Amino acid sequence: MEQRRLNSGFSLIEVMVAVAILSIGLVGILGLQTMGIRTLAHARYRTTAAELASMVMETLKTTPVDLNNPGKIFVDSKGNNIVDANNNALLSDGAIGDGQVSWHLLPLMNAEGHYLTTSTPVNERHKYTYLAIYSVEWGKATGSTFIPVQDSVSEYLAAGYPEIRPLLEQIYLEVWVGWIEPLGQTGDPSQKTMAEFFTSVDDTFTKNPAIFPVKKVKLKDIRRI
């Protein structure tokens, strides 16, 4: 009798409890794995965006300028105009030294830093997932006018003014590069596509980028001429 008790198996209830505990553990592991994948993807996008922002900033700091005509359009070595997505001079400023920046829009970019053009193959256009905009403020003879910005204003309202006041023969530059991740963008209820963001910013960014992806990196610098 004692021998039969020692050789008896698990009861159905014991098996069910063991399976339930195992299932809870597996769900937790799968959740951590999914979170890890998203975190790695986010880090990859942010790193790429930071590299693209540095590339844009370097271009803005080295492109030719005319002190007497910020709106002058130059050409590159291939004879192409050096302009933004709206065919404005790359470093044009609507009003020099007024204490407000002029925002510019660039074509959509891919991870390699190539711009989307009309000649880009249709089957390649989905790879252009980065949006770059930048602001410009030239200092005049006495430097740019200082306009205090309240701490309580929104990020986009504050973006209408230079964080660093440019002085004589200086240009304030601020670059934003944003992106959308395939799994959706936390904090953006509109769930716009990058092409929709491009069109929205194009329509509204005259004074500040009122519509822009939530996920972005920023760079700010002063160019001395």
Q: Is 49 helix (H, G, I), strand (E, B) or coil?
A: helix
| Contact assessment for residue 102 and residue 144, using Cβ atoms and an 8 Å cutoff | no
Q: Are residues 27 and 125 in the same domain?
A: no
Measured distance CA(123)–CA(119) in Å, rounded: 11
For the stretch 77-80, contacts whose Cβ atoms lie closer than 8 Å and that sit 24 or more positions apart, written own/partner, are none
Tokens of 112: 């390699």
Q: Are residues 80 and 168 in the same domain?
A: yes
Measured distance CA(213)–CA(187) in Å, rounded: 9
Measured distance CA(129)–CA(178) in Å, rounded: 8
Q: What was the pLDDT predicted at 195?
A: 82
- Residue percentage of the chain with pLDDT more than 90: 53
**pLDDT over 90 (residue 85):** yes
**How many domains does one find in the chain?**
2
Q: What was the pLDDT predicted at 96?
A: 93
pLDDT tens digit sequence for 129-175: 999 999 999 998 889 999 988 888 888 888 999 999 999 999 999 99
Q: Are residues 161 and 100 in the same domain?
A: yes
Q: Where are the beta strands (DSSP E) in the chain?
A: 102-105, 130-138, 170-179, 216-224
Q: What was the pLDDT predicted at 186?
A: 46
Q: Are residues 200 and 130 in the same domain?
A: yes
Q: Which amino acid is at 103?
A: W
Mean pLDDT of the chain: 84
Closest CA to 69 of 103, 87, 93: 93
pLDDT tens digit sequence for 43-53: 889 999 999 99
- Residue percentage of the chain with pLDDT more than 70: 78
pLDDT tens digit sequence for 169-218: 999 999 999 998 765 444 454 567 788 888 888 777 766 787 888 889 99
**pLDDT over 90 (residue 88):** yes
Mean pLDDT of 100-129: 93
Q: What was the pLDDT predicted at 185?
A: 46
DSSP label of 153: S
Measured distance CA(225)–CA(207) in Å, rounded: 24
Q: What was the pLDDT predicted at 38?
A: 59
Q: Are residues 128 and 91 in the same domain?
A: yes
Domain that holds residue 18: 2-39
Q: Are residues 7 and 96 in the same domain?
A: no
Q: Are residues 98 and 189 in the same domain?
A: yes
Q: Is 133 helix (H, G, I), strand (E, B) or coil?
A: strand
**pLDDT over 90 (residue 13):** no
**pLDDT over 70 (residue 5):** no
Q: Are residues 161 and 64 in the same domain?
A: yes
Q: Are residues 110 and 203 in the same domain?
A: yes
Closest CA to 133 of 199, 66, 178, 188: 178
Q: Are residues 181 and 108 in the same domain?
A: yes
Mean pLDDT of 55-80: 93
| Contact assessment for residue 216 and residue 177, using Cβ atoms and an 8 Å cutoff | yes
Q: Are residues 86 and 170 in the same domain?
A: yes
Higher per-residue confidence, 202 vs 31: 202
Tokens of 116: 């989307």
Q: Are residues 24 and 52 in the same domain?
A: no
**pLDDT over 70 (residue 89):** yes
Mean pLDDT of 57-63: 96
Tokens of 197: 């963001």
